Homo-oligomer: A and B are copies of this chain.
Amino acid sequence: MSIKVTMKDIAREAGVSIATVSHVINGTKHISENKRKLITNVIEKYNYVPDTRAKSLRNAVTKTAGLVVSVFPDSYVTGIVNGIGKRARELDYHLLFINTNEDYDYEKESIKLLSSNIVDGIILTPSEMNLGYIQKYMKKGLPIIQAIRYDPNIPRLPRVTADDFQAGYDATKHLLQHGHRKIGVIISRTNITPTIERIEGYKAALTEYNIPFDEGLIESGFATEKNALIATKKLLNREKEITALFVLSDLMTIGAMQAITELSLKCPDDIALIGFGDFAGAAITNPPITNVSLSAETIGRTAFDVLLNKINNPGYDKHIQIPTSLMIRKSCGC
């Protein structure tokens, strides 16, 4: 524990009242120049910093935001966290960071803890589309917003996500334009909105080409390199007519590429591929990888701004989608 020097100590040493000290620190009242100097010197001398807990207990403001993320590390999420952090700093906020690792119970527990006046608001990436438990916190007036993923059943909760539908549509259409008709998809998890919406986009593009949706072309890679490798092999062995792959995260893209190699197939000649999330390194792989690119930092920054809006205006319930774009390289066959 730090050796405590409090405002009382400063006041005593400076020979003034505790209220005067408080006023010079916060500039809340005009204090004569000589007392000001005197007090400031004592503060400097002891390197005194007001106790944040006591302060926030008094003013009911913590100037820190809770960040509850369900998956990390991952270059997409990392970039978003980074964006949130930058914006928070610009706005003089701090971040209490929790990684739930997709553990729903831990997520609930974390929100409960954060609801104990430890933060002014929360940015949440839900582990599941099962946010019923959040209602009681909303009722209490705790500002919460969703980022990356969301629960569609709680529309009053603000959210900022990528434009996942459009991303799925664009990638699929690009592959379709290259002549591919059997397009496999490696998803991370079934029941999260980014997956659902990207698949919706995929279906929409398919429909334009009068191709029926085939559930059998979808396989789960559970967001890791290794699992994606396994999933891709499984999928490619099962569905022999697949000529293109759409892979929904960067780590999985790497696994999928390895699978293609291990199956002695050539990308893009035998199997074309489009990934998701433009990771560093996508340009120097063999072949360089075409993928859906999006500014994770923008999503993060926007998420923080949305949280502040929610804090300042309890009725705020906007849903924001950040656009994505296709970064075309070689793996798609261009």
Cα(A86)–Cα(B97), bound, Å: 12
Contacts A2-B140, A140-B47, A285-B285; A79 near B85 (Cβ below 8 A): no
- Chain A: interface residue total (CB-CB under 8 A): 60
Q: Interface-forming stretch among A8-16, A183-191, A238-246, A251-259?
A: A251-259
Contacts A47-B140, A49-B113, A284-B286; A85 near B99 (Cβ below 8 A): yes
* A72 within 8 Å of B (CB atoms): yes
Interface residues of A in 70-94 (CB under 8 A from B): 72-73, 75, 78-79, 81-82, 85-86, 89, 94
Contacts A82-B99, A85-B97, A140-B2; A51 near B117 (Cβ below 8 A): yes
Q: Which residues of B contact A97 (CB under 8 A)?
A: 67, 85, 95-97
Distance between A306 CB and nearest chain B CB, rounded to angstroms:
18
Query: Is the beta-carbon distance between B49 and A57 smaller than 8 angstroms?
Result: no
Cα(A82)–Cα(B72), bound, Å: 7
Distance between A8 CB and nearest chain B CB, rounded to angstroms:
14
Q: Which residues of B contact A142 (CB under 8 A)?
A: 2
* A237 within 8 Å of B (CB atoms): no
Query: Is the beta-carbon distance between A117 and B53 smaller than 8 angstroms?
Result: yes
Q: Which residues of B contact A17 (CB under 8 A)?
A: none
